[in-house]
Structure 1
Amino acid sequence: MKSVRRLTLPVLALGALVLSACDGGGGSREGIWAAGSSTVFPFTTRVAENFSRANDFALPRVESLGTGGGIKAFCAGVGPATPDIANASRRMKASEFDECAKNGVTGIIEIKIGYDGLVIATARSGADFHFEGPDFFLGLAKEIPGGSGFVANPNTTWAQVRPGLPDVRILTYGPPPTSGTRDSWLELGMTPSAEAVPSMAALSESDEDAFEGRAHTLREDGLWVDSGENDNAIVQTLTRTPGSLGVFGYSFLEQNSDSVKAASVNGVYPNFETIASGDYPISRSMYVYVKSAHIGVTPGLDLFMTEFLSDAASGRGGYLQDRGLVPLPAAELEAQRQAVRARTPMTRPEK
C-alpha cells in the first residue's frame, strides 16, 4: 500500500473561511490543500508552518502521494474536494494537462521553486561508488544486449558490471512508478546510461520507442526494489542493509549526511553548486502547480504562494535551502513571482 504522509498540526487560527464557492465538488473544507511529490513535501510543509505562524489562517494540509498521485487528484476537478496545489518533482505531462482540461481545471499556474539532484547513495560505513557511462543501465535494466539480441540481466554484483566498482551485490532501493522521482531517474539516470552502450545508441536512432522500452524497464528479480513514496524509509534501509544503494532526492541526503553518502556520477558529486550549474548529471527542477480558480476562494492561497517564493523561503540562504532545495537565480525567482502575480496560465507541455 502506498505510504501517505500528511501534515496535521493543530489549527493555529480560527480566521480561516470555508472553501465552498468553487464550482464542482461537494462538501467544504478549511484552509489550503497541497498534494504530490515526496521530494517537494518537506519544502511545502516548511512553508506551511511559517505561513500559519505569520497569518490568521488554518495550517495548510500537505500530503505526500507522489507526483503522479498529486497531479491526478489536482486534475480531478475544481472545488473543495480537490487540492489547490500539486507538488511535482518533474514537469506536468501533456496527458495530465489534458486530463485537467477535460475536468474543467484550466488556467493552471506553473511555478518552478528551485532545483534538486537525484543521488544514488549508500551507508556512510560502506564502500565508495563512482558510477560512469553505462553502469546504471548494465546494473539495473531488466534486459541488456547479449548475443544477437537481449538477455535477462546476468549481473548480480557491481564488479561484474565494471571492474573497479565495489564487489557487492546489486541491491538498489528506489521510487515506485507513481513517483516523479522515478520519472526523473529513468530520464536523467537510465536513458543517458543506456545511450553509452553502442548497440543501445544505435537502437535509439532507429527505433526510439523500442529504445525507451529497454532503457526504462528496471529489474524485476529483486535487485531493484520499489520502496514507496517515503524517501526517509529508503535512507533508513541503507543503514540496515550493508552494500545496498538508494535513489532519492538530494534534500534527503543533506538531512541524513551523518548516515549516508552519495556516489559520484561521471566524476561529479552532488552538491548545491554542481546541481544549480547542471554539472551534476542527474539534476532536475522542482515545481508546484496552482489552481487559479481557487485563488480568492481558498483563504490565503495567494499569500501562501507569496510566502513560498519569498527571499526568506526560496531565496539564496533561505529556510528552504536549509532543507536541501537548491535556489533559483535571483532573476528566475523574480520571473516566477511575476507569473503568480499576473496569474499567467501555463501552456500545454509538448509531451
Structure 2
Amino acid sequence: MVISESRFLTALLLLLATALTVRPEPAAAQRRDAVLATGSSTVAPFTNAVADRLAEGGARRAEVRSVGTVHGFNEFCQGTSLRFADIQDASRRMNFTEFGLCASRGVHEIMELMIGFDGIVVAHRHGLPSPNFTRAQLWLGSAKEIPRDGRLVPNPHRSWRDVSQQLPDWPIRVIGPPPTSGTRDSFTDLVMLAGCQALPEVRAIRDTAQRRRVCTTVREDGGWVDGGEDDEVIVGQVVDGAIGTLGIFGFSFLERNLARIDGATIDGIDDTRENIASGRYPIARPLYIYVKRPNLDLVPGLRAFVQEYVSEAAMGPEGYLIRRGLVGLDDASRARLRQAVADGAIMLRRPGE
C-alpha cells in the first residue's frame, strides 16, 4: 500500500504531538529511598511509632504526613508515580468516590488492612463531673438548625442545660475535627445522623437531601468550632478553654492525656477499650492503612514496614501500638491480617460491596 505524502506528514505530526504531551517522570520521581505515608491524624501516631521502631534498627525513617483522611486519599489516589504516597492512613474506610478516583488514575492494586479500632471521645477538662450524653442531645447542641414548634429554627441552645435538665450548665462550645478529617466523617455518621434521625420531627422531613443537610450542618455561632488536624492541639484547647469546653477526637489521645482530660459517657456506655473493641460504645470505628502493592517491590523498606506494622511486637496484646492507644484486634483477626500481607491480597471490589 502506498501512503501519500500528506497522510504521512499528518501521521508524523500526530506522533510528535503525542510524544510532546506524554511527559516522562523526572528521574527523582521514579525512585525514592524512604517510605512515604499520608492521611489520618488519628492513625499517624501509630504509623510514626512503626517508623521510629524501624529507624532504631538502622532503617531509613519513613516520612509520615498528617493531613487528614480526606486530603490523604486525594494524594494517595493521584497516580502510581513515586511522587505520591505508598501508604494511606485512614480513620474510616475508603469510600466509593475515593475508590473511583484511584481507579481513574491507574491505582488499582491496593491492599486494605484494618489495623484495629478506635473510639471517638467527647472529652472535657479533667476533674469535672462527666456528663452522660445521648447522641440526640449532642446533635441538639451542635446542629445549626433544630426543630421547634413544627419548623426549623436557628439553634437557640446556649447551655447544655438548655438541651436537657440532666446535663450540666456548661456553655455549649464543641471543638471538633475539620471537614477534611475522617474523624469528622465518622462523627457525622455515628452521632449527627444517628442522633438527628432519632427525633420524630426530623424523620418527618420527606426530602432526603434536606434531611441530611439539617442533620449534618453544624452551628456557626461559636457553639461548634472546627479544630485542626492535630488532635493534640484540640486536647490543649479543651484543657485551656472555658469550663465545659468539649473536644472531639480519637480514644488514643484521651488515653495519653488522662491527667488532663476525661471522656463523657455516650448513650450510657463508657469509652473503654473493651466497649470499643466489642462495638458496644456507640462511636467506635475501625482504623485502616491502605498500601499500593506494586510499591512493595519499588520502594526500599516498604515491605518490611508493612510487615512490622502487623507484627505481634507492634499490635499483639502487649505490642507497642497497643501501649500507644490502638484498640487491638483479636488473635484470629491478627492472624488473618498477617496472612493477607503475606499473600499481597488486594481490594477486588468497591468498598461496601
Same fold (TM over 0.5): yes
Counterparts of 2:26 and 2:112 in 1: how far apart (Å)?
Answer: 22
Question: In structure 2, which of residues 141, 144, 147 is the aligned counterpart of residue 145 of structure 1?
Answer: 147
The answer as to whether partners of 2:135 and 2:192 remain within 8 angstroms in 1 is no
Partner Cα separation in structure 1 for residue 281 and residue 181 of structure 2 = 21
Match of 1:104 in 2: 106
Contact map agreement 1:275 1:326 (CA 8 A) in 2: yes
Residues 119 and 250, structure 2, Cα contact 8 Å, conserved in 1: yes
Cα deviation, residue 93, structure 1? 0.8
Question: Does structure 2 retain, via aligned residues, the 8 Å contact 1:137–1:193?
Answer: yes
Larger helix percent = 2
Q: How many Å separate the matches in 2 of 1:317 and 1:44?
A: 17
Q: Is the 8 A contact 2:120 2:248 kept in 1?
A: yes
CA contact (8 A) 1:24 1:79 kept: no
- Radius of gyration: which is bigger? 2
Match of 2:211 in 1: 211
Name structure 2 gaps, 5 residues minimum.
1-23
Equivalent residue number for residue 49 of structure 1: 52
**Aligned pairs for 1:71-90 within 5 A:** 71-90=73-92
Checking the alignment, whether the CA contact within 8 Å between 1:72 and 1:96 is kept in structure 2 is yes
3-state SS in 1 of match to 2:212 = helix
List alignment gaps of at least 5 residues for structure 1: 1-20
1 CA distance for matches of 2:211 and 2:93? Answer: 22
For 1:222, the equivalent position in structure 2 comes to 222
Q: Report the CA distance between 1:168 and its aligned residue.
A: 1.1
Distance 1:23 1:326, change over 3 A: farther
In the alignment, residue 220 of structure 2 is paired with which amino acid?
E
Q: Distance in 1 between matches of 2:25 and 2:328?
A: 34
Can you list the C-alpha shifts for 1:135-164, whole angstroms capped at 9, x where unaligned? Answer: 011100111112332111111100000111
2:168 corresponds to which residue? Answer: 166
1:39 aligns with 2:45: no
Counterpart in the other structure of 2:336: 335
**How far apart are the structure 1 equivalents of 2:202 and 2:25?**
50
> TM-score when scaled to structure 2?
0.89
Does structure 1 conserve the Cα–Cα contact (< 8 Å) formed by 2:122 and 2:249?
Answer: yes
Q: CA deviation at 1:23?
A: 11
TM-score, normalization by structure 1 = 0.90
4+ long deviations beyond 4 Å: 21-25
> Within 1, Cα distance between the matches of 2:284 and 2:59?
35
CA displacement, residues 225-258 of structure 1 (integer Å, 9 cap, x when unaligned):
0011010011111111121000000000000000
Quote the Cα distance in structure 1 between the aligned partners of 2:182 and 2:334.
Answer: 22
Structure 1 residue 101, shift from structure 2 partner:
0.8
Distance in 2 of aligned mates of 1:295 and 1:154: 54
> How far off is 1:22 after superposition?
9.4
* CA apart distance, 1:311: 0.9
* 8 Å Cα contact 2:172-2:223 kept in structure 1: yes
The secondary structure found in structure 1 opposite 2:281 is coil
Quote the RMSD (CA, aligned, Å).
1.8
Residue of structure 2 equivalent to 1:191: 193
1:301-312 equivalences under 5 Å are 301-312=302-313
Post-superposition shift, 1:133? 4.7
